[in-house]
Amino acid sequence: MTFFNILDLCIIMLYFIGALFFLGGILGINQTLKKSALYATILGFLLHSADLVIKLQSNVVFTFSQTQFYFSFLAWSFLLIYLIIWWRMQLQFLALTAAPLALILFTSSLAVSTSDLSIPSQLSALWFSLHIIALFLSIALLAMAFGAGLFYLHKDKQLKNKAKPNKLRKGFPSLTSLDRVNHIAVSTGFPLFTVGMLSGFVWAKFTWGDFFSWDPKELISIVIWFIFAYLFHQRITTGWKGRKPARLAAWLFVLSIISLLVVNFYFPTHHSFRP
């Protein structure tokens, strides 16, 4: 077993422990389990960060050309955004979204078949890097809005129906805090998504000779951008709050995952992950 195999196994175990312990801590209202879950997740994140850095330092071009890297980096991005929100708002509850998603994506990064992607060189590499980083961070923000939105809708429905709180709901943050997560995700995520889109078009010009080529990935990204723009406008300009932005942000995240997994694997596209 190689060093990277051992490191990957440690990361998977820590993410699994983090997800499992936090769920147990919520259901059992056990603060010790919740703290243990947070420590395991942070340690897993640090090892994951080291894993990415070592692989990039060993061979940047090769690493960027592998599908596995993008799954791993997206998993890392989910936890980065979660830890920032936890640090700013003390909303440890969102680990129920972040830890399982990071576990699934990181595990998938080890299982997915390798495909060689077109990697630009020199000046276009700057646009490529900006494109990937901005888009992945915006998707990670949407993931947090997705989790907060589902919890918001569930708690709001339970309150309206005057249902007796179960153990899980007792651990929910307030509706105001969950709506605040949505606001942060949308107000920060939309500009990042826009930067990612624009830099992607510049990168496409360097790589394939055209800013826009009616590629399926480009088309679905534009659809996502327009929906995101509408949500951003409604939240920032008209002060949209509550169920509608929670529901729309959740659907945006689902659409982003469909774009990443369905379009990239099953449609003819420049962004194909197929081997």
The listed range with the strongest mean pLDDT (147-156, 170-179, 187-196, 234-243) is 187-196
Q: Two tokens at 111?
A: 């299982």
Question: Which structural domain, as residue segments, surrounds residue 57?
Answer: 1-117
146 and 89 both lie in a single domain: no
Average pLDDT over all residues of the chain: 80
33 and 166 both lie in a single domain: no
103 and 192 both lie in a single domain: no
pLDDT single digits (tens) 119-139: 555 555 666 777 788 988 999
Closest CA to 206 of 128, 270, 264, 129: 128
Q: Are 30 and 24 in contact (CB under 8 A)?
A: yes
241 and 259 both lie in a single domain: yes
Confidence of residue 264 (pLDDT cuts 50, 70, 90): low
How many domains would you assign to the chain? 2
92 and 218 both lie in a single domain: no
81 and 194 both lie in a single domain: no
pLDDT at 273: 53
180 and 212 both lie in a single domain: yes
In single-letter form, the type of residue at position 238 comes to T
pLDDT at 189: 92
Could you write out the three-class secondary structure of the chain?
CCHHHHHHHHHHHHHHHHHHHHHHHHHCCCHHHHHHHHHHHHHHHHHHHHHHHHHHHHCHHHHHCEHHHHHHHHHHHHHHHHHHHHHHHCCHHHHHHHHHHHHHHHHHHHHCCCCECCCCCCHHHHHHHHHHHHHHHHHHHHHHHHHHHHHHHHHHHHHHCCCCCCHHHHCCCCHHHHHHHHHHHHHHHHHHHHHHHHHHHHHHHHHHCCCCCCCHHHHHHHHHHHHHHHHHHHHHCCCCCCHHHHHHHHHHHHHHHHHHHHHHHHCCCCCCCCC
pLDDT at 206: 67
pLDDT single digits (tens) 214-258: 777 778 888 999 999 999 999 888 888 888 989 999 999 999 888
